[in-house]
Amino acid sequence: MKKSLAIIFFLFFTLNIFSQELSYRMEELTAPEFISAVEKSAKTCIIPIGVMEKHGAQLPLGTDLYLAREYALRAAEQEYTVVFPWYYFSQINEARHQPGTISYSPELIWKVLQETLDELNRNGFEKIILVNGHGGNNAFLNYFGMAQLSEPRDYTLYWFRPDRSREIREKAESLTQPDRFDSHAGNSETSMMTAAQPDFTHSERSGQQSGVDQERMKHLDFVYTGIWWYASFPNHYGGDGAKANAEAGELLINETVDQLVKMIRQVKSDEVVPELQKQFFEESENPLKTKQ
C-alpha cells in the first residue's frame, strides 16, 4: 500500500512539474529549463534596458526599468521569448546633478552591453532584441548598433523602435490632458506608470516642480551641444503628469506591446538580416574582391 502511494505521489509530482508553463523570465528558469527556453524562443532573447534617474517628483528612479520590462513581459506572454533581468547600465550623464542618478562611464556601459550580448550568444541565443525605456540611450544605441559591424558576430542584434499613433495619443489625452511638453515624466509616462506600477506612482506630486522648457539655448541656431537637455529641463522633468491615469496608461502600453509582439514574430522568422550580416562580414575580410 505504501509503495503504491509512493508511486502515485511520484507520478503526480512529475506530471505537475512537466505541466507547468515554462517561464519567460530568465531569472526564474532553472538550468535544464533554460535549455528548453532557448529552443522554445527560437533562440531569441529580449534585453529590456532602463536606467536609474529622477523622473520629476512623482515617479520612481527606476521608471524606465519598470516600463521597458513591462513591455517585454507582456509581449513575451503572447509570443514566447526569453526576457533578460533588469538592465540599468545606461547613458545618463545629463542627470548627474540630480539625486539618485547612477551614471556609469561611457566605456563601462559599452563594455557591459557588449559582453552581455556575447554571453547570451555563448548560451545559445542567435537573435537579441533591445527594448529601450530610456530616451537618453537613443544616440548611444544607434552608434552601438552600427558598431556591431566592426567585427564578425554569431548573433543578430535588433532594436525595437515603437511608433506612437496619433489616434492613441489623442485618446490618451482625452482621458487625461494635452501636455505641450509631454516628454520625460510627463503625462504619457506618468499614465503608463500609474497602470504598470501604481504603488510607486504619485501623480499628485507632479506640480511640486516645473516641467516647462526653460529655453535657455533659444539664442543659438543650428547648434547641438551636450548641455541641451539641462538647458531645457534642469529639473529633469519635461511635461505635466498631474492628470495622468491608468486607463490612458493601458492604452499607451498596449499599443507598444502590440507592436513588440509583431516585431518578435518577424524577428523569429527573419532570415534576411542574418544572411546579409554574414555576407557583409565575408566581404569585409577582403574588400578588394567585393563586386563593384
Q: pLDDT tens for residues 246-277?
A: 999 999 999 999 999 999 999 999 999 999 99
Q: What's the rounded Cα separation, in Å, for the pair 23 and 198?
A: 24
**CATH for 37:** 3.40.50.10310
- Crossing angle of helices 187-196 and 63-78, rounded to 10°: 60
Does the structure show a pLDDT above 60 at 104?
Answer: yes
* Contact of 83 with 26, CB cutoff 8 Å: yes
* Residue 123 counted as domain residue: yes
Q: What is the mean pLDDT of the chain?
A: 94
At 237, the pLDDT band (50, 70, 90 cuts) reads very high
- Side chain identity at residue 124, one-letter code: G
Whole-angstrom CA distances from 193 to 59, 95, 190, 198, 272 are: 8, 20, 5, 6, 37
- pLDDT at res. 53: 98
- pLDDT at res. 3: 58
Taking residues 69-89, what's their average pLDDT? 98
* Residue 292 counted as domain residue: no
Q: What's the rounded Cα separation, in Å, for the pair 123 and 93?
A: 32
User: Residue 250: in which H helix or E strand, if any?
Assistant: helix 246-269
Does the structure show a pLDDT above 70 at 91?
Answer: yes
* Residue 187 counted as domain residue: yes
What is the number of domains present in the chain?
A: 1
* Residue 282 counted as domain residue: no
Residues in the chain: 292
Tell me which residue range forms the domain holding 249.
24-269
* Residue 13 counted as domain residue: no
- pLDDT at res. 2: 54
- pLDDT at res. 17: 42
At 7, the pLDDT band (50, 70, 90 cuts) reads low
* Residue 278 counted as domain residue: no
Q: How far apart are the first and last CA of the chain?
A: 81
- pLDDT at res. 127: 98
* Residue 50 counted as domain residue: yes
C-alpha cell of residue 94: 545629463
SS3 of 283, please?
Answer: helix
Tens-place pLDDT, residues 10-65: 444 444 444 479 999 999 999 999 999 999 999 999 999 999 999 999 999 999 99
Locate the DSSP E strands across 37-106: 44-49, 82-83
Tally the C-alpha atoms within 13 A of residue 209's C-alpha that lie toward its C-beta: 19
List the Cα angle 189/133/186 in 5-degree steps: 20
Does the structure show a pLDDT above 70 at 148?
Answer: yes
* Residue 154 counted as domain residue: yes
User: Residue 2: in which H helix or E strand, if any?
Assistant: helix 2-19
